[in-house]
Each structure stands twice: as structure tokens, then as C-alpha cells.
């Protein structure tokens, strides 16, 4: 009888540990707006895992998020950036608090940065710190040897952004398989 109780407790512990870890990871790495992300991914050729990762870092999937600098929505798109994108698409009205619109604009902008900067981490630095700032870093030998990739990232916030991105990307790549 003791062996049965020990066995039962052991199995219960394992089940709770696995269930608990999945609950924690589901809170830390949510999977929301799958349809909107899939559409934007297909439209702009940016992987779903990258989009999920950026959204999680930028707003933790809060479509009503607004930063102190004025960035808005899930992907924390600056209104001036959104206006430029809207002009490219001949749109006169848009709502950055609308999940589909924000994901569409944010992903379009990411795709443009990936083309402009070629290196994924450099493009993500531009998404976080701004393309003009990143161009300045790339032209400085203290930060870039080849003018295309960053050996050092001067802003702590941007360094942390890239570290968070890599962790998110690893998780979402496994999760979305």
C-alpha cells in the first residue's frame, strides 16, 4: 500500500510540474491573434515566430498599449511611421488600436527594415531604436566592423530588446511547430 501511495504522489507531482510549467509559459509567452499574424506573415514574408516575438516584447499582446514615447498597440507602432505606411498604401484612415491593422502595419515596417538592414538583429535594433540611430551606429567602427552588422549595441534598452527577442524567438519557434 505504501508503494502505491508513493507511486501516486510521484505521478501527481510530475503531472503538476508539467501542467504548472505549461501554465507559466502560456502566461509569459502568449499565443494570441494567430489569424491576424498568419495573414501579415504571408503578406510580408516575415515569419510568424518573429511577429509573435516582437508583439510579446512590445506589448505582451495588449492591443491597447501606449508607450510614453507615443508608440501604439500590439507592435507599438509610432503614429508617424504608421502614417508613412498608410501613405504608401493610399490609406486615409487607420486605427492602430485595431489588432489586425497594427499587426499589418508593424509587420510591413519590419519587412522594410529587414530589406534595408539585411541582418535580422540589426533590423530589430532599428525597430527598437530607430533606423537613423542604427545607421549612425553602423558607420562607427566602435560598433560595427563591416557597416552591416552590429558588434556592440550602445543602448542598454536595445541590447536588452535583442536578448528578449532571442529568448522569445526560441520559445515561439518550438511552440508553433
Residue 69 shares a structural domain with residue 86: yes
Residue 19 shares a structural domain with residue 60: no
- Domain of residue 154 covers 32-175
Q: List the catalytic residue out of 43, 58, 141, 151.
A: 58
* Residue 58 annotated in active site: yes
Residue 54 shares a structural domain with residue 21: no
Residue 97 shares a structural domain with residue 120: yes
Mean pLDDT score, 75-101: 96
Number of domains in the chain: 2
Kind and range of the H or E run holding 34? helix 34-44
**173 CB-near residues (< 8 Å, 6+ apart):** 49
Confidence of residue 6 (pLDDT cuts 50, 70, 90): low
| Cα 157 to Cα 163: distance, rounded to the nearest angstrom | 10
| Cα 56 to Cα 138: distance, rounded to the nearest angstrom | 27
Res 35: pLDDT: 97
**14 CB-near residues (< 8 Å, 6+ apart):** none
Predicted TM-score (pTM) of this structure:
0.84
- Grid coordinates given for 100: 489586425
Mean pLDDT score, 159-173: 97
Residue 36 shares a structural domain with residue 88: yes
Question: What's the CATH number where 123 sits?
Answer: 1.10.530.10
Q: Does the pLDDT at position 20 exceed 60?
A: no
Q: Does the pLDDT at position 21 exceed 50?
A: no
Amino acid at each position: 500500500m505504501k508503494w502505491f501511495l508513493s507511486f501516486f504522489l510521484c505521478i501527481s507531482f510530475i503531472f503538476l510540474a508539467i501542467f504548472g510549467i505549461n501554465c507559466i509559459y502560456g502566461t509569459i509567452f502568449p499565443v494570441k491573434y494567430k489569424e491576424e499574424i498568419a495573414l501579415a506573415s504571408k503578406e510580408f514574408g516575415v515569419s510568424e515566430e518573429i511577429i509573435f516575438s516582437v508583439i510579446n516584447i512590445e506589448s505582451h499582446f495588449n492591443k491597447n498599449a501606449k508607450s510614453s514615447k507615443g508608440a501604439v498597440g500590439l507592435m507599438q507602432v509610432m503614429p508617424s511611421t504608421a502614417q508613412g505606411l498608410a501613405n504608401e498604401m493610399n490609406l486615409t484612415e487607420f486605427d492602430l488600436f485595431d489588432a489586425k491593422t497594427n499587426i499589418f502595419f508593424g509587420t510591413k515596417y519590419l519587412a522594410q527594415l529587414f530589406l534595408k538592414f539585411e541582418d535580422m538583429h540589426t533590423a530589430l535594433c532599428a525597430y527598437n531604436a530607430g533606423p537613423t540611430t542604427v545607421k549612425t551606429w553602423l558607420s562607427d567602427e566602435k560598433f560595427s566592423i563591416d557597416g552591416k552588422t552590429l558588434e556592440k549595441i550602445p543602448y542598454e534598452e536595445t541590447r536588452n530588446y535583442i536578448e528578449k527577442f532571442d529568448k522569445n524567438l526560441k520559445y515561439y519557434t518550438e511552440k508553433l511547430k
